[in-house]
Amino acid sequence: MTKKLKILVVAGDGIGPEVTGEAVRVLQSVAELGGYDFQFREELIGGVAIKAKGSPLPEDTLKAALESDAVLLGAVGSNEFNALPPSERPEAGLLKIRSELGGFANLRPSFAWPGLSQNSPLRPEIVEGADILFVRELLGGLYFGAPREWDKRVNAAWNTMRYTRDEVVRVSKVAFELAAKRRKKVTSVDKANVLEVSQLWRATVTEVAKDYPDVALEHQYVDAMAMHLMNQPRNYDVVLTENLFGDILSDEAGVITGSLGMLPSATIGGKVNLYEPVHGSAPDIAGKGIANPLGAILTAAMLLRYSAGLEDEAAAIEAAVKQVVADGVRTADLARADKSVEVSSTTEVGSKVREVLVGARASAAAR
Ligand code: IPM
Ligand code: MN
């Protein structure tokens, strides 16, 4: 068990600092309760880094990330930079840190939290019990493929969706390994009726599946999958897909949970794992103290699970989140549908999670 952990915090833009602040305080509570030595260091990324240092991923940030045991990221993106080309925007810093750290498997769980089904626009009997783990390939496809260009002379622009067999093999293995420990089903999502890259994807996933005879494999086209996810989310266990399809479907999965603000993620398989909530920088609510910190707090739980082997502590955070939600301590995004719930602030929700964690530890000690 890891006793010492060096965590680089890159809070980024918008609501990033508010939500990661709560996640860090939760990690500090875990360290105090368990006698662990978690060391936090902060660096800049995204729009704040462009402003302070002229680059969305400054050298110092990348160096600190490579020296850490885990990187906890808030969010990047700011409307100020909307006119810039993709390569100069805050988002470029995120894509660069992803590729430099090398993690290719982005795990995005989407879970129907008890007591939150009212908050979903879907009927409770559809969402209740849903428990999906998206495995999104994070370093290939349209995000990184070349050539890419907007050629103003010919008034045309293009990007390239490219995958090598090896890239598909390695992310598929992660999906099958995880499915083997869950409900033993992988749904691979592609567009193999139109795209050659998807045909390679499908053939490769099918080949990898042969090494996992206990895990069932099904293929879905991405358009159909977008619909099935809303009609029958309980049908899915592990959903494996390429970068852009995974980006889109994981936001859609926020509907199952009731709020995008509840979704965490972990990126594994590289030099240093990267942890970031699925939501963006939400500039419209930044600085107001109303953002939901639970996505970031659940991301911290994934950090303990995948970078420190602290499974019990990760599960304790998840149980605390469950309790806080059930007790009706919720930010505005989660209180919307339930008028009996009083709206809490970002810090109130974070404090409540810590209180429940400390209380659970005390009652365990008393037993
Ligand atoms: C996400 C985000 C990022 C992505 C953006 C901010 C580059 O939407 O993590 O899902 O598209 O991967
Ligand atoms: Mn996204």
The answer, yes or no, to whether residue 23 has pLDDT greater than 80, is yes
**Using CB atoms within 10 A of its CB, is residue 172 exposed (0-12), middle (13-18) or buried (19+)?**
buried
Judged by DSSP in three states, 95 sits in: helix
Helix 346-366 crosses helix 311-326 at what angle (to 10 degrees)?
120
Q: What is the pLDDT of residue 2?
A: 52
Picking from 224, 257, 290, the residue at the C-terminal end of a domain is 257
Q: Please state the atom number of ligand 1 nearest to the C-alpha of residue 244.
A: 11
For residue 165 the two structure tokens come to 């067999």
223 noted as active-site residue: yes
Q: What is the pLDDT of residue 115?
A: 82
Inside any domain, residue 1: yes
Ligand 1 centroid, distance to 363 Cα (angstroms): 40
284 noted as active-site residue: no
Q: What is the maximum alpha-carbon separation in the chain?
A: 74
Q: Tokens 């293009």 sit at which residue?
A: 158
For residues 97-114, average pLDDT: 96
Residue 251 belongs to what domain range? 121-257
Inside any domain, residue 111: no
Q: What is the pLDDT of residue 3?
A: 75
285 shares its domain with 232: no
Q: Is the CB of 77 under 6 A from ligand 1?
A: yes
Pick the catalytic residue from 13, 190, 191, 333. Answer: 191
- In this prediction, residue 302 has a pLDDT band, given cuts at 50, 70 and 90, of very high
Supply the pTM of this predicted model. Answer: 0.96
171 shares its domain with 64: no
Q: What is the pLDDT of residue 122?
A: 94
325 shares its domain with 364: yes
Q: Which helix (H) or strand (E) holds 77?
A: none
Determine contact, residues 289/345, Cβ cutoff 8 Å. yes
Determine contact, residues 250/107, Cβ cutoff 8 Å. no
13 noted as active-site residue: no
5 shares its domain with 100: yes
Inside any domain, residue 144: yes
Inside any domain, residue 127: yes
Ligand 2 centroid, distance to 114 Cα (angstroms): 25
pLDDT digit string (tens) for 197-230?
A: 999 999 999 999 999 999 999 999 999 999 999 9
Report d(CA 192, CA 200) in Å as an integer. 8
For residue 58 the two structure tokens come to 């400054």
For residue 224 the two structure tokens come to 């159909």
130 shares its domain with 250: yes
Number of domains in the chain: 2
Residue 277, domain CATH: 3.40.718.10
Q: What is the pLDDT of residue 119?
A: 86
Picking from 225, 257, 289, the residue at the C-terminal end of a domain is 257
Picking from 205, 233, 257, the residue at the C-terminal end of a domain is 257
Report d(CA 210, CA 204) in Å as an integer. 10
Inside any domain, residue 113: no
For residues 336-346, average pLDDT: 83
For residues 5-17, average pLDDT: 98
Q: What is the pLDDT of residue 118?
A: 83
Residues ≥6 apart with Cβ < 8 Å to 59: none
249 shares its domain with 269: no
Report d(CA 192, CA 195) in Å as an integer. 5
Residues with CB under 5 A from ligand 2 (ion): 247
Q: Please state the atom number of ligand 1 nearest to the C-alpha of residue 251.
A: 10
For residues 36-44, average pLDDT: 98
Pick the catalytic residue from 13, 36, 143, 275. Answer: 143
For residue 74 the two structure tokens come to 């808030």
For residues 176-196, average pLDDT: 98
Report d(CA 298, CA 116) in Å as an integer. 16
Report percent pLDDT > 90 for the chain.
92
Q: How far is CA 146 from CA 56, 159, 166, in A?
A: 21, 7, 18
Judged by DSSP in three states, 189 sits in: strand
Inside any domain, residue 85: yes
Q: Please state the atom number of ligand 1 nearest to the C-alpha of residue 95.
A: 7
Q: What is the pLDDT of residue 1?
A: 52
63 shares its domain with 102: yes
Q: Are strands 216-221 and 37-42 parallel, antiparallel or unpaired?
A: unpaired
For residue 90 the two structure tokens come to 């805050």
- In this prediction, residue 366 has a pLDDT band, given cuts at 50, 70 and 90, of confident
Please tell me the residue having the least CA distance from ligand 1 atom 4: 247
Inside any domain, residue 116: no
pLDDT digit string (tens) for 58-93?
A: 999 999 999 999 999 999 999 999 999 999 999 999
143 noted as active-site residue: yes
Residues paired with residue 10 on neighbouring β-strands, in sequence order = 73
Inside any domain, residue 270: yes
Pick the catalytic residue from 6, 96, 251, 322. Answer: 251
101 shares its domain with 221: no
Please tell me the residue having the least CA distance from ligand 1 atom 11: 247
Report d(CA 143, CA 150) in Å as an integer. 14
C-alpha torsion angle, residues 31, 34, 36, 42 (rounded to 10):
-10
186 shares its domain with 99: no
Residues ≥6 apart with Cβ < 8 Å to 300: 23, 24, 26, 27, 72, 275, 317
**Using CB atoms within 10 A of its CB, is residue 262 exposed (0-12), middle (13-18) or buried (19+)?**
buried
207 shares its domain with 275: no
125 shares its domain with 232: yes
244 shares its domain with 263: no
